[in-house]
Copies of this chain bind each other. A is one copy, B any other.
Amino acid sequence: MAKITNISGFPEWLPEEKLVEDQVIETIKHIFLSHGFVPLETRSVEYVSTLLSDGEVTKEIYGLQRLQNEEAEKSEASLALHFDLTVPFARYVAEHFNALNFPFRRYQLQKSWRGEKPQEGRFREFYQFDVDIIARDELPLCHDAELLQIIEKVFTKLNLADYTIRVNNRKLLLGFYASLGLSTEAQRKAIGIVDKLNKIRVDGVAKELACALNLEQSKIDQILALTKIQIKASAAAAELAKITGSDELLKQGISELLRVIELCPDRTKDKVVLDLSLARGLDYYTGTIIETHLTPYPALGSVCGGGRYEDLASRFIKQKLPGVGMSIGLTRLLSAVFKEKLIPVQKKSPTTVLVTVLSEEERPTSIAAAEKFRDSGVAAEVFHLSSKLGKQIDYADTRGIPFVAFISDGGAKVELKDLTTKEQKEIQITEWCRSFSSIANKQ
């Protein structure tokens, strides 16, 4: 027998779990589409040089090699699986630059692969759901606010758990550090250190700021004091007014944050927390930074993160393309959904009605009835045997199919049994489907 063990870091869901994943995907996709984001998909592979040349050698990349590669073809450029969706997106935009309209807003749901050691919430093969808006030369702040609005709608609609959208601005941080007299290089390093706050706590950050940057205690205290500002967006203006410092970048960061919050609808503001401890590790970000956490599951880490960058694709094309984007860690999110039972995993089938079969002679009648259900928008299945009705009902029960139909009089009479209430009644298929769909749509 061939080996059939699972492979660590390459998760696979059961059918009933995949139904839940698809429901989550549909919810998110619907919101992205309703904001005019166009779907995009890149190939799974890039040249290794494309993936490596931004200096990010820490990413564990899977290279590809054709097992039957002939000697003569050994020279073909080496390919590898992408490790995120940002690099392929940047390459795609550069490659198809003249065919795209800017500002360009796209969403992208694809798998990425990383050879890292698998652990909770970290996989070797995983789905990410990215949205970005990129523009030529200038990108207004309204887009940063739109992303916050979208994140709020996604996590409210998914209704998995209480959540917080944390927001900060890199210019505020850099400007604040500058006003303390830190060099550009030291500002950058300070961000990296503050980003570790959750891991190494306040003491660890203080120690690293002292050792790595040789900062005096009063400056460390001020940096740490800034990280303590974590307040509701509605109180942001009053709180930000207290931050002193004449640095231009600091002022700009504060004003950007205020404008972004101002442009959020009220229901979004309610979920947004101005969190000046938020730093995000990547050098990439230059303005707004965002992270979302499910409040009851801090160990899970961020389920959605992003921010504003000045330059998407200058590695590939001579164009200034600023953007703002975010990525939902779909596989991480789903792993929590299943582990913590955040969405009930019940239905093993998308079927709503199982049409029974009284005898093989009458099978065509059942097939026709099932088709009538489907034509009216209700998923139906015809039982595959003409066994005892009890056995047919058991089939539906086991799979979570809620209704069973009995057809008689050559299709003229249809009775429907609700397996939840055990109630059975005669119905007209089209009428019943209309009323069923209108109830289902409201849920």
Contacts and interface: CB of A to CB of B under 8 A. Distances in A.
Interface stretch (A97-105, A271-279, A296-304, A418-426): A97-105
Contact of A39 (B19, B40, B50): B19
A341 interface: no
A185 to B, nearest CB: 26
B67 A3 contact: no
B60 A68 contact: yes
A404 interface: no
A143 B48 contact: no
A338 interface: no
Interface stretch (A200-208, A214-222, A347-355, A406-414): A347-355
A183 B348 CA distance: 45
Contacts of A149: 367, 371
B316 A1 contact: yes
A interface residue count range (under 10 / 10 to 19 / 20 to 34 / 35 or more): 35 or more
A66 interface: yes
A384 B103 contact: yes
A65 interface: yes
A43 B7 contact: yes
A61 interface: yes
A36 B361 CA distance: 23
Contacts of A135: 384
Given A1-B315, A4-B317, A12-B41, A36 B96 contact: no
A178 interface: no
B95 A6 contact: yes
A12 B99 CA distance: 13
A86 to B, nearest CB: 14
A262 to B, nearest CB: 8
A231 interface: no
A50 B2 contact: yes
A45 B126 CA distance: 12
Nearest to A383: B142
A415 B325 CA distance: 31
Contact of A61 (B6, B50, B66, B145): B66
A115 B68 contact: yes
Interface in A364-401: 364, 367-368, 371, 374, 378-382, 384-385, 398-399, 401
This chain: how many copies in the complex? Answer: 2
B64 A371 contact: no
A47 B7 CA distance: 9
Contact of A42 (B12, B34, B38, B45): B12
A163 interface: no
Contacts of A95: 4-6
Contact of A34 (B80, B94, B96, B379): B379
A22 interface: yes
A58 to B, nearest CB: 9
A245 interface: no
A64 B415 CA distance: 55
B66 A368 contact: no
A36 B67 contact: no
Contacts of A188: none
B380 A34 contact: yes
A1 B319 CA distance: 12
A363 B260 CA distance: 12
A66 B99 contact: no
B36 A142 contact: no
Interface string A42-56: 111101111001000
12 contacts: A2-B49, A6-B95, A7-B47, A10-B44, A18-B41, A34-B374, A36-B381, A37-B350, A44-B44, A62-B64, A62-B67, A101-B398
Interface of A: 1-7, 10-16, 18-19, 22, 33-45, 47-50, 53, 60-69, 77, 79-81, 91-92, 94-96, 99-101, 103-106, 111, 113, 115, 125, 135, 139-140, 142-143, 145-146, 149, 262-263, 265, 315-318, 348-351, 363-364, 367-368, 371, 374, 378-382, 384-385, 398-399, 401
Given A7-B45, A61-B67, 4 more contacts: A10-B43, A13-B41, A101-B398, A140-B384
